[in-house]
Amino acid sequence: MKKCTSCRKEIDSKATKCPHCQTDQRNWFIKHPILTIILVLFILGIIGANSGTKKIGTTGTSGNEASQPTTSEAPPTKTYKMGDLVDLNGKTMAVNAVADYISGNQFLIPKSGNKFVAVDITLQNNSKDPYIYNALEFKLHDNQDYSYDMAVSDKDPQLSSGTIQPGEKTRGFITYEIPEGNTPAKLEYTPGFWNLSQIIVDLTK
């Protein structure tokens, strides 16, 4: 004998439904086989993604510096200056310039007391694999330590998202909206969701 999971009255140990309250006595996984399969596949997918992820163990090199060994721990972050060609296993980026931007579109204006700042960036793929990039991986920090994501802008050519094939490169602007009295201080680049590496470019030098 066993007790019903709902009304707690004693029922036959092999009963799949309570004769008193009609509550199904089977566990959730048996009652919902399709959802169970989906849940198992989802968990296996997460485990597979985590185990198969490669983490880059260097924040990049400038010039002819040698790459550091791969490690699963977050590497120390190095700060570069504008014009430095920063390398991440053959995938390079450089900040060419940063300047205030005024749109000619009357509908694309910053909020009162704010201004647009456009950062000119070059990305190049010297590796054998596609270089997938996204402007949301970049954050602008100002001299007051506030950080900003990209703003909607008509500053062309825009650097938004895409794939750079081996041997190719792309260049464009990412625009940010910051307070008028503040100035751009650094650009933070964290390529890839699982990447431990981070590039910081000092925009004051």
CATH of region 61-202: 2.60.40.1240
Asked whether the predicted pLDDT for residue 201 surpasses 90, the reply is: yes
**What mean pLDDT comes out for the span 90-102?**
93
Query: Three-state SS across the chain?
Result: CEECCCCCCEECCCCCECCCCCCECCCHHHHCHHHHHHHHHHHHHHHHHHHHCCCCCCCCEECCCCCCCCCCCCCCCCEEECCCCEEECCEEEEEEEEEEECCCCCCCCCCCCEEEEEEEEEEEECCCCCEEEEHHHEEEEECCCCEECCCCCCCCCECCEEEECCCCEEEEEEEEEEECCCCEEEEEECCCCCCCCCEEEECCC
**What mean pLDDT comes out for the span 143-172?**
94
CA max distance for the chain: 80
Query: Using 50, 70 and 90 to split pLDDT, how confident is the model at 181?
Result: very high
Query: Using 50, 70 and 90 to split pLDDT, how confident is the model at 29?
Result: low
pLDDT at 186: 96
Of 42-46, 109-113, 165-169, the poorest mean pLDDT is in 42-46
pLDDT at 50: 61
- The residue written with tokens 């910053």 in the block is 110
Of 92 and 32, the structure prediction assigns the larger pLDDT to: 92
Asked whether the predicted pLDDT for residue 11 surpasses 60, the reply is: yes
In this structure, what token pair is assigned to residue 135?
A: 């402007």
Share of the chain above pLDDT 70, in %: 77
**What mean pLDDT comes out for the span 171-184?**
96
The segment(s) of the chain belonging to CATH 2.60.40.1240 are 61-202
Bridge partners of 158, per DSSP, are 173
Query: Using 50, 70 and 90 to split pLDDT, how confident is the model at 178?
Result: very high
> pLDDT digit string (tens) for 112-147?
999 999 999 999 999 999 989 999 999 999 999 999
- Rounded to the nearest integer, the mean pLDDT of the chain is 80
Asked whether the predicted pLDDT for residue 71 surpasses 60, the reply is: no
